[in-house]
Amino acid sequence: MFKRRNLVTLIAGTLMVATGAMAQFADRNIKFTNGINEDHPVGVGVRKMQEILAAKTGGKMKISSFWGGSAGGDMQAIQALRAGTQEMVCASTSPIVGIVKELGVFDLPFLFANEKEADAVLDGAAGKYFNAKLEAVGLVNLSYWENGFRNLTNSKRPVAKLEDFDGVKVRVMQNNIFLDTFKTLGSNAVPMAFPEVFTALETKTIDGQENPFVTIETSKFNEVQKYLSVTRHAYTPFVVLYSKKLWDQLNPQEQALLREAAMEGQKVQRAANRAMSDKSLAALKAKGMQINEVSAAEQTRIRAKVNAVYDKHKDSIGPDAIKVVQDELKKARGG
């Protein structure tokens, strides 16, 4: 009888602790939007976040996801976050440059040589530096996810050398560094919101666009583009942003759990993105896209041409932002 009574007491105590832990979390339906489709690796990361929130809050905290720009573009969502009328968005850093100019450093062409360098910079002191800049404008970054290395597609011709960029009308993200990069290369650069790109390509309003392989495949750009050139001209991070106004209404336990969920989401999202990148390239080739590499000699010519973009934008980005990234890159490169 004594043992049974102790067992009952232990079970009751455990239930009380569990109930107390759940009581730290309010019922919250978190609106999350993204311009890309759910079959992108970002979907893998979001599902991981949902799993963690469900398990640790007893289903009280939920993420309601809206994909493919179905709830509006990323910049519209970012402004809604700043106003406190939406909770979350996962967006590339590039469109946010108009709000946080220092993020322009990630748009500089050929900044990173590989994913390992990008991880070291984003997950280190540089990442914290940019997080502070984002928070100052009403955006809490929970984690850096991966969009990846960007490559050029178009419907006119293969881009295998510097001169092939001439006259190609290319959609770029809505920031001046990407505009200047492609103008410097001789292209007609057109800033455009991502949800508009497929139709613009289909109607020949533009000739091409540039994105990572995974985005090209999941957005079905192969249906309206013939040529894919492996340029790897820029690496773009994703940021998982939460409204600062709404963040401040969460208790510390809720905040900590959202950060934990986003970091766990980062692990699976990056891994999925890298695994899917090679598969997407193979799939795009199988679906009929003509794929060409850019030789090392031509890469050198292209990089030399766009050095002018660094010189033009170093003051507008800010010397501190460039220095913090360069310092982390030196560490990553071993010197």
If you ran DSSP here, which 8-state letter would residue 146 be given?
E
- Beta 169-172 vs 188-191: how paired, if at all? parallel
Please, is 48 exposed, middle or buried when counting C-beta atoms within 10 Å of its C-beta (0-12, 13-18, 19+)? buried
Name the residue among 35, 32, 48, 33 with its Cα closest to residue 272.
48
User: What is the residue-averaged pLDDT of the chain?
Assistant: 92
Residue 13 confidence (pLDDT) above 60:
no
pLDDT one-digit tens code per residue, 224-260:
999 999 999 999 999 999 999 999 999 999 999 999 9
CA gap 312, 119 in Å, rounded: 26
Q: What is the per-residue pLDDT across 128-183, written as a single tens digit (0 to 9) for each?
A: 999 999 999 999 999 999 999 999 999 999 999 999 999 999 999 888 899 999 99
CA Rg, the chain, in Å?
22
Most confident of 61-75, 253-267, 303-317: 253-267
Burial class (CB in 10 A: 0-12, 13-18, 19+), 297: exposed
pTM of the model: 0.84
Topology adopted by domain 28-94+101-332: D-Maltodextrin-Binding Protein; domain 2 (3.40.190)
Q: pLDDT band for 190, please (50, 70, 90 cuts).
A: very high
At 71, is the pLDDT very low, low, confident or very high (cuts 50, 70, 90)? confident
- Domain residue extents for the chain: 28-94+101-332
